[in-house]
Structure formats: structure tokens, C-alpha cells
């Protein structure tokens, strides 16, 4: 009996931290091949924004870093984690700054508040081109308060401004809080995963999606890398 009890205690001590803190999936997102050269954006029709750029801005559909890393990739747990329908109480901000969206890609949970801010001196209209969610389109002149919106279905929603046709951004509406978006080093980390089998999906706006299956048993860190094939055009 004492042996069983000490066994249970030591098992709890070993597994406990894993159960509380969970495992981590981390890795890097890279690409192979040569991405098409990013197009220069002509902002001459909107001088109030054009003047913010000393070098002409380029389109952000493919942003890369040193060592062939890929930026703006949303990496998230697509299966294995329970759906989280009660969203965090803080809002995610999507800013229209110098006639571009900052950040270019955001991740937000279902029913979490999206705050849209116009920091420019020109009007924008914020037009998420949703299919699964409702499609709405609102004007936001300069100096007006932020818009507050929510989405109730999982979807990767492209956003555009009709007045400024080069503006393009994405809202990754997810049912999980286990997500990360890569920056120039292409790295991501998904911590706090309880033991279980997971499918991790990496999404890029032009290059599509890649998935990987991963099993977490305790508090270990599993390394998963994603590689996308660059498109020639």
C-alpha cells in the first residue's frame, strides 16, 4: 500500500508539471525556391500616405527573412485542442497606418473583439471579405473612434480598403488560443499544450497551408519545421 502510494506521488511529481505547464511545439517556417519579386506600390493617388515612405513601399504578400525564412505565417493547433468559444476579454487591434494594415496579418479568436483604428489623415473603408462570417463594409474617416467588431466562425478573412486598392491584410479567426504568427526569423512556439495528439497547421496567404502531426506526452518541446514552396508568379 505504501509502495503504491509513493508510486502515485512520484508519478504525480513527474507528470504534474507537464499537466500544469504542458508541452511545447516550436520550430521555424522557411521556403524553398525563389519568391516572385515584391511589386512596388504606387501611392501617388494618396499623397498624405505616400509622403511617409522615403523608399517606395512594396506589396506584403510574401515577406521573407534571412536564411529563407517566411514571415506572416499563422501557425496554430487545428485539431487536438478543444474549441475555445469563450474568447479572451482583451481586443486585438488592426491599424490602418500610412495606407497599409499594421500588422499585415492578425490572429483573433472567435467572438474576440477586433478593434479597427484609422491612424491616417485619409478616410479608409474597412471591408473584410468574409464568406463563412458576415460580410460587412464600413467607412472610417480620420479622427473617428475605433470600430469594434466580432466574428463567430473560424475563417481566414482577407481585408481590403476599396478606396486604396493596394491595401491588403488578413484576419485569421481561430477557435483556439494556441497560435503564433512568424516574424522575420520565421520562428514560432506553441506552449502550454496538455498531453495528446495534435495537428499543427501553418497558413500563408499566398503559399497555402502545411500540416504536421505531433504528440505531446508531458512537458517536452517537440520541434516541427514547415517548408513552403515559393510560387513563381
Partner 1 sequence: MGRAWNRHILRRWIRTRLLLGVFSALSAFAQETHVGNLTGHAAAGKQFYRRFCIGCHGPFGDGNGENAPWIDPKPRDFTSATFKCRSTPTGMLPTDQDLYNSVARGFTNSNMPHWDSLTRHSRVDLLAYIKTFSARWQTDKAGDVLQIPAEPPITIQSIAHGSELFQKLECWKCHGQQGRGDGPSASTLTDSRDNPIRPYNFAAGSDDSRFKCGAENQDIYKIFMTGLDGTPMPSFADVIQPDDAWDLVHFLRTLQVNRKSKENDALRTAGGKIPKVETKDAAPATAPPAQPDTKPPGAEK
* Interface with partner 1, residue 123, by CB under 8 A: yes
Provide φ and ψ at 6, rounded to 5°: -65, -30
Distance of CA 42 to the CA centre of its chain: 27
* Interface with partner 1, residue 50, by CB under 8 A: no
Among candidates 182, 162, 180, 158, which has minimal Cα distance to 170?
Answer: 158
Q: From the list 11, 39, 136, 223, which residue makes contact with partner 1 (rule: CB under 8 A)?
A: 136
Among candidates 39, 42, 43, which has minimal Cα distance to 62?
Answer: 39
By CB under 8 A, what part of segment 203-222 binds partner 1?
none
Q: How many CB atoms sit inside 10 A of residue 221's CB? A: 12
Q: From the list 111, 125, 177, 209, which residue makes contact with partner 1 (rule: CB under 8 A)?
A: 125
* Interface with partner 1, residue 127, by CB under 8 A: yes
* Interface with partner 1, residue 139, by CB under 8 A: yes
* Interface with partner 1, residue 177, by CB under 8 A: no
Beta strands 105-109; 168-174: pairing state = parallel
DSSP 3-state of 8: helix
* Interface with partner 1, residue 51, by CB under 8 A: no
Among candidates 173, 169, 224, 170, which has minimal Cα distance to 201?
Answer: 224
Q: From the list 16, 131, 206, 217, which residue makes contact with partner 1 (rule: CB under 8 A)?
A: 131
Comparison of 51 and 138: residue with beta carbon closer to partner 1: 138
The kind and range of the H/E element at 47 are: helix 47-50
Min dist. Cβ of residue 230 to partner 1 (A): 23
Instruction: State the distance between the two ends of the chain, measured CA to CA, in whole angstroms.
Output: 69
Min dist. Cβ of residue 102 to partner 1 (A): 18
Min dist. Cβ of residue 206 to partner 1 (A): 16
Comparison of 104 and 164: residue with beta carbon closer to partner 1: 164
What residues make contact with partner 1 under the rule CB under 8 A?
A: 45, 121-123, 125-127, 129, 131, 134-144, 147, 162-165
Amino acid at each position: 500500500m505504501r509502495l503504491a502510494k509513493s508510486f502515485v506521488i512520484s508519478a504525480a511529481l513527474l507528470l504534474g508539471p507537464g499537466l500544469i505547464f504542458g508541452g511545447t511545439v516550436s520550430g521555424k517556417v522557411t521556403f524553398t525556391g525563389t519568391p516572385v519579386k515584391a511589386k512596388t506600390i504606387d501611392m501617388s493617388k494618396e499623397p498624405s500616405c505616400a509622403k511617409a515612405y522615403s523608399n517606395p513601399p512594396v506589396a506584403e504578400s510574401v515577406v521573407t527573412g534571412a536564411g529563407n525564412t517566411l514571415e506572416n505565417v499563422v501557425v496554430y493547433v487545428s485539431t487536438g485542442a478543444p474549441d475555445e468559444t469563450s474568447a479572451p476579454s482583451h481586443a486585438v487591434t488592426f491599424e490602418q497606418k500610412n495606407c497599409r494594415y499594421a500588422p499585415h496579418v492578425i490572429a483573433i479568436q472567435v467572438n474576440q473583439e477586433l478593434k479597427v483604428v484609422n491612424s491616417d489623415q485619409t478616410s479608409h473603408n474597412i471591408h473584410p471579405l468574409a464568406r463563412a462570417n458576415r460580410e460587412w463594409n464600413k467607412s472610417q474617416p480620420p479622427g473617428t473612434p475605433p470600430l469594434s467588431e466580432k466574428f463567430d466562425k473560424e475563417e481566414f478573412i482577407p481585408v481590403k480598403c476599396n478606396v486604396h486598392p493596394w491595401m491588403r491584410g488578413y484576419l485569421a479567426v481561430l477557435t483556439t488560443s494556441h497560435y503564433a504568427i512568424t516574424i522575420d526569423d520565421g520562428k514560432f512556439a506553441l506552449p502550454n499544450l496538455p498531453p495528446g495528439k495534435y495537428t499543427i497547421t501553418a497558413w500563408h496567404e499566398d503559399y497555402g497551408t502545411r500540416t504536421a502531426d505531433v504528440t505531446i506526452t508531458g512537458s517536452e518541446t517537440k520541434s516541427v519545421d514547415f517548408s513552403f514552396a515559393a510560387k513563381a508568379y
